[in-house]
Amino acid sequence: MSRFDWLSGFLAELHEEHILVRRGSRHELAPAHLLEIDAEEWGRCGRLAALAEYRWGGLWADPLEEGFELFCLLEHQGDYLVLQSRIEEEPPRIDSLAPWFPVAARAERHCRDLLGIEFHDHPDGRRWTRHQGWAEDEAPLRSDFSAHRLPKETPVPADGGYPFEPVQGEGVYEIPVGPVHAGIIEPGHFRFQAVGEQILSMEERLGYVHKGIEKAAVGRDAEGLVRLAARVSGDTTVAHAWAACQALERATGQQPPPRAHQLRGLLCERERVANHLGDIGAICNDVGFAFALAHCSRLRERWQRRSDELFGHRLLMDTLLPGGVAVDIGAEEIHLLHHDHAVLRRELEPFFDLLLDQPSLEDRLLGTGVLLPATARALGCTGHVGKASGQPFDLRSAQPYPPYDRLPMETPLLQAGDVLARVQVRMRELLDSLAWMDTLLDGLEPGEIRREFRTRGPARGLGAVEGWRGEVLVYLRLDAGGRVARYFPRDPSWHHWPALEQIVLGNIVPDFPVCNKSVNASYSGHDL
């Protein structure tokens, strides 16, 4: 099967529906295929994409001097299609895609809150990212809104009046949780409706850690952008920085040296190992199996110390730069890493056997927090959440970017969709990453680790990297001076948060933490 062999069929359907494609390009936002359509056709085009069962992967708008460009990313058989439309109407309006892709609802609300674009026929008119930090008629991402504008009132009041969906019935009660949670985790609000111990519904209210990342990026140079991207979500610092580098490099037609590609791959897999180690321990701890937490956090600490020793940062922040990477390794370091991998594998294999053979653990994880494959598919879940529910998409195998193009990565796939399956996928990914890193180190190319990065513009680029949580996307536009005009990072958490609302249904309230941890969506990566 060759790439994009489905696209001609889709174009024929557009033609049949009298939807005019203004422009198509394979290069402008490569590796995606770009199709420009009229704003009036946006909704109809979305409907066709939904009927063709494309996966919805993200929506963002780019404010131009006049009007907006609106983008929607779709994926089919491993290939990306980006729909683009120009909105010139003022106030800006366009059809909502949420009736066709329910998972698009929050992205559209985010777009409306930050850019003031109204989505016609949107099923949910409530604010999302906006709390009380700015007014309804203001749009922080527009150029007339100063980045340093102070709020009208400080402290900014709590968003107490947010209208949650009520649930009525005898014995139904509500549990509000957050934004400040009991553990050492990020802030967000969960509204449970329960009967007895059973969860009837759970509604998320996010946006508490909205830091204005999209606005903070505007005007930055390439290095400044990558530094910011490294802090979109601290646990995914490598993947977000890598996606930003990719977008910069594709936009400006520059290639980092082969060794830099390989080292980026190494760093990204190290990040995956660290996070899976931490989460497997924490998931077991959430059902009272502290033994696993003790060992996983011990192994994670050792891993982080090695990262600090060899790459200068315990979480690997700022190890990637536009044009390459910041740190090189020599023969001695490679030997150390091989040794680490062997030691870790020796510890993990019997340890995982032990975990999977604990009846008390199985009793709590098996059948808990099920995400049905059909739901995972509809919500476009990737990473461990998708793979535990029968969704095989993984950028490393679907669109193997360097270094995965020369060194393929096997990915696990399960169908059960419960907490146990998500743990098992993480276990497999962890061991797969260790083996992959060993092969990578054996074939490390000699040569430079960074080429000088020359900024130029105007230009646009798309970044797409498989982070430990799943597919990380970046849209980037550089202005004529080569400075950032628009940066939109799409963390996989945009898909995982709606999945969590489905996962907890019918479970008991005390199992919420373990369900939540098994997904471990990012608040910061979502609130931006």
CB of 183 to other proteins, least distance (A): 7
Residue 99's CB is within 10 A of a number of other CB atoms, namely 16
What is the residue-wise DSSP string for 176-218?
Answer: EE-SS-SSSS---EEEEEEETTEEEEEEEE--TT---HHHHHT
Alpha-carbon distance 396 to 35, whole Å? Answer: 25
Helix intervals (H) in 169-233: 213-217, 222-229
How far is CA 513 from each of CA 28, 182, 504, rounded to the nearest angstrom? 43, 11, 10
In the list 30, 135, 158, 342, the residue contacting other proteins (rule: CB under 8 A) is 158
The secondary structure element, H or E, covering residue 507 is none
Size of the site for other proteins (CB under 8 A): 65
Query: Of the candidates 377, 372, 451, which has an alpha carbon nearest to the alpha carbon of residue 418?
Result: 372
Whose CA is closest to 142, among 108, 111, 118?
A: 111
Residue 158 CB, shortest distance to other proteins, in Å, is 4
Rounded to the nearest whole angstrom, what is the least distance from the CB of residue 513 to other proteins in the complex? 12
Does residue 186 touch other proteins according to CB under 8 A?
yes
6-65 residues near other proteins, rule: CB under 8 A: none
- Write the interaction track for other proteins spanning residues 437-456; mark x where CB under 8 A is met and - where it is not: --------------------
Q: Does 356 bind other proteins (CB under 8 A)?
A: no
Tell me the window of 127-135, 329-337, 366-374, 500-508 that interacts with other proteins (CB under 8 A).
127-135
The answer to whether residue 161 forms part of the interface with other proteins (CB under 8 A) is no
483 near other proteins, rule: CB under 8 A: no
Residues 92-121 close enough to bind other proteins by CB under 8 A: none
Q: How far apart are CA 243 and CA 471, in angstroms?
A: 10
Among candidate residues 317, 306, 309, 315, the one with its CA nearest the CA of residue 278 = 315
Nearer to other proteins, 188 or 417 (CB): 188
Q: State yes or no: residue 210 binds other proteins (CB under 8 A).
A: yes
C-alpha dist (Å) from residue 421 to 108, 252, 347, 363, 497: 31, 41, 21, 13, 18
Q: Which stretch binds other proteins (CB under 8 A): 54-62, 208-216, 248-256, 453-461?
A: 208-216
- Whether 384 and 422 have beta carbons less than 8 Å apart is answered as yes
Position among 145, 258, 327, 438 found at the interface with other proteins (CB under 8 A): 145
Distinct helix (H) and strand (E) counts, the chain: 17, 15
Near other proteins by CB under 8 A: residue from 135, 156, 342, 480 = 156
When binding is defined by CB under 8 A, the residue of 55, 112, 122, 131 that contacts other proteins is: 131
Identify residue 190 by its one-letter amino acid code: F
Count CA within 13 A, CB hemisphere, residue 362.
Answer: 8
Quick check: 151 binds other proteins (CB under 8 A)?
Answer: yes
Please, which residue, 1 or 150, has the CB nearer to other proteins? Answer: 150
What is the identity of the amino acid at 234?
G
Query: Within positions 226 to 265, which residues make up the interface with other proteins, using CB under 8 A?
Result: 227-228, 231-235, 237
**Are the CB atoms for 500 and 521 separated by under 8 Å?**
yes
Residue from 21, 172, 216, 509 that binds other proteins (CB under 8 A)? 216
Is 152 within 8 Å of 135 (Cβ atoms)?
yes
Taking CB under 8 A as the binding criterion, the range among 72-80, 94-102, 143-151, 483-491 that sits at the site for other proteins is 143-151
The stretch among 74-82, 190-198, 346-354, 425-433 that binds other proteins (CB under 8 A) is: 346-354
Print the binding letters for residues 303-342 with other proteins: x by CB under 8 A, - otherwise. Answer: -xx--x-----xx-x-------------------------
- The footprint of other proteins on residues 383-422 (CB under 8 A) is none
Q: Determine, following the binding rule CB under 8 A, whether residue 513 of this chain makes contact with other proteins.
A: no
Measured from the CB atom, is 314 or 377 closer to other proteins?
314
Say how far apart CA 469 and CA 7 lie, in whole Å. 28
CB of residue 354 to other proteins, shortest distance in Å = 5
Helices (H), 366-407: 373-379, 383-387, 395-398
Residue number, 354 or 508, with CB nearest to other proteins:
354
Min dist. Cβ of residue 166 to other proteins (A) = 23
**Token pair belonging to 243:** 């996606």
Phi, psi dihedrals of residue 424, rounded to the nearest 5°: -65, -40
**Least Å from the CB of residue 438 to other proteins:** 24
The residue from 67, 102, 212, 367 that contacts other proteins (CB under 8 A) is 212
Element holding 41 (H helix, E strand): none
* Window of 148-156, 405-413, 436-444, 472-480 that interacts with other proteins by CB under 8 A: 148-156
| Upper half-sphere CA count for residue 225 (Cβ side, 13 Å) | 32
- Residue with smaller CB distance to other proteins, 289 or 401: 289
Angle between helices 493-503 and 104-115 (to 10 degrees): 130
SS3 labels along 446-482: CCCCECCCCCCCCEEEEEEEECCCCEEEEEEEECCCC
Ramachandran quadrant class, 79 (left: phi over 0; alpha: psi -120 to 50; beta: rest) = beta
Closest CB 209 distance from other proteins, rounded Å:
5
Which 3 state secondary structure label does DSSP give 508? Answer: strand
Q: Is 175 in the site for other proteins (CB under 8 A)?
A: no
Residues in contact with other proteins by CB under 8 A are 131-134, 140, 145-151, 154-159, 179-180, 182-187, 207-213, 215-216, 227-228, 231-235, 237, 278, 291, 294-295, 297-298, 300-301, 304-305, 308, 314-315, 317, 350-351, 354, 357, 522-524, 527
